[in-house]
């Protein structure tokens, strides 16, 4: 018959105590990391413009922003320079902390390109943003390339001249005018790393009309799985939803977009960051 000796009992006790200490250490580290991420999230939110800035710039506007994690790879941005309003929605590589790093870099660079470099056309701004972002994340690497980047829809509106322009670097721009939806197609290239040597960032010009409603969005809304058959919400359903809300003011549109998203998602996990911006002329 095996009996438990005093020495073996002490060993088990020490092992148990060591395990408890290691678990306490890991728990403390987990709490410390979560607090750091939450602080990073609060910093990121402080960089994002207040919804009221969009409302002050346009006849009406809304911002629907719902990160998947504490920090987000999506961002929205606005900057007024003379008579021009520059604004954008960016969807960075990944989500969470990696996406947030690209997010903050892009957010910071955009204003510098307009104020310091003096660029005014969306295509030119996107071209230099691409160059700067690739350089920022790769110039100090000893080998290889990072694959960090973003899809972004970038607009420039002049409400005095009623002229608009945009560059879709991987993201489209939607317009609802007189009950009809017009889609300005995205360009072929995104911002950041690619195997392509030459990229195309085209500026598309158009007139603005009173009561025009423009929508900028990341793919988090349309890619969300849900519904009875657990499918993506998809772009067509999103366009139809926008058309169905045409007579609503933007406050109601924002509530309806959020309700439709949550109703579609149901008990499914949110798969990505969600950002939708609406502006009315």
Q: In whole angstroms, give the CA distance from residue 92 to residue 218.
A: 9
Q: Quick one: fold of 48-280?
A: Phosphatase 2c; domain 1 (3.60.40)
Q: In degrees to the nearest 10, what's the CA dihedral of 234, 240, 245, 251?
A: 20
**What does the pLDDT look like over 218-252, one tens digit per residue?**
999 999 999 988 999 999 999 999 999 999 999 99
**What does the pLDDT look like over 115-146, one tens digit per residue?**
877 789 999 999 998 888 877 666 544 444 45
- pLDDT score, position 4: 55
CB atoms within 10 A of CB 118: 8
The percent of residues above 70 in pLDDT, for the chain, comes to 76
**Which residue intervals of 58-182 are DSSP H helices?**
96-115, 122-138
* Mean pLDDT lowest among 95-109, 134-148, 184-198, 266-280: 134-148
**What does the pLDDT look like over 59-105, one tens digit per residue?**
999 999 998 877 777 889 999 988 999 999 998 875 555 556 666 77
User: What are the beta bridge partners of residue 66?
Assistant: 274
- pLDDT score, position 32: 61
Q: In this predicted model, which residue has the larger pLDDT, 271 or 133?
A: 271
- pLDDT score, position 144: 43
Q: In this predicted model, which residue has the larger pLDDT, 149 or 59?
A: 59
């Amino acid at each position: 018959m095996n009996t438990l000796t005093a020495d073996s009992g002490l060993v088990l006790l020490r092992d148990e105590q060591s395990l408890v200490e290691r678990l306490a250490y890991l728990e403390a580290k987990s709490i410390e990391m979560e607090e750091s991420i939450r602080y990073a999230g609060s910093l990121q939110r402080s960089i994002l413009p207040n919804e009221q800035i969009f409302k002050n710039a346009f006849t009406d506007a809304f911002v629907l922003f719902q990160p998947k994690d504490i920090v987000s790879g999506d961002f929205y941005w606005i900057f007024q320079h003379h008579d021009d309003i520059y604004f954008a929605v960016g969807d960075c590589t990944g989500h969470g902390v990696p996406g947030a790093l690209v997010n903050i870099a892009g957010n910071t660079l955009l204003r510098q390109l307009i104020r310091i470099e003096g660029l005014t056309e969306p295509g030119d701004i996107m071209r230099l943003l691409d160059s700067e972002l690739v350089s920022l994340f790769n110039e100090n690497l000893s080998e290889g390339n990072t694959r960090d980047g973003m899809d972004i829809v970038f607009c420039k509106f002049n409400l005095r001249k009623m002229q608009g322009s945009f560059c879709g670097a991987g993201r489209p721009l939607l317009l609802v005018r007189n009950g009809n939806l017009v889609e300005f197609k995205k360009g072929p290239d995104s911002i950041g790393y690619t195997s392509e040597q030459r990229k195309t960032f085209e500026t598309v010009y158009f007139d603005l009309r009173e009561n025009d409603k423009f929508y900028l969005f990341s793919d988090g809304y349309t890619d969300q799985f849900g519904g009875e058959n657990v499918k993506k919400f998809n772009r067509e359903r999103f366009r139809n939803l926008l058309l169905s809300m045409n007579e609503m003011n933007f406050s109601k549109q924002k509530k309806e977009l959020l309700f439709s998203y949550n109703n579609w998602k149901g008990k499914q996990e949110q798969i990505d960051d969600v950002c939708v911006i609406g502006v009315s002329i």
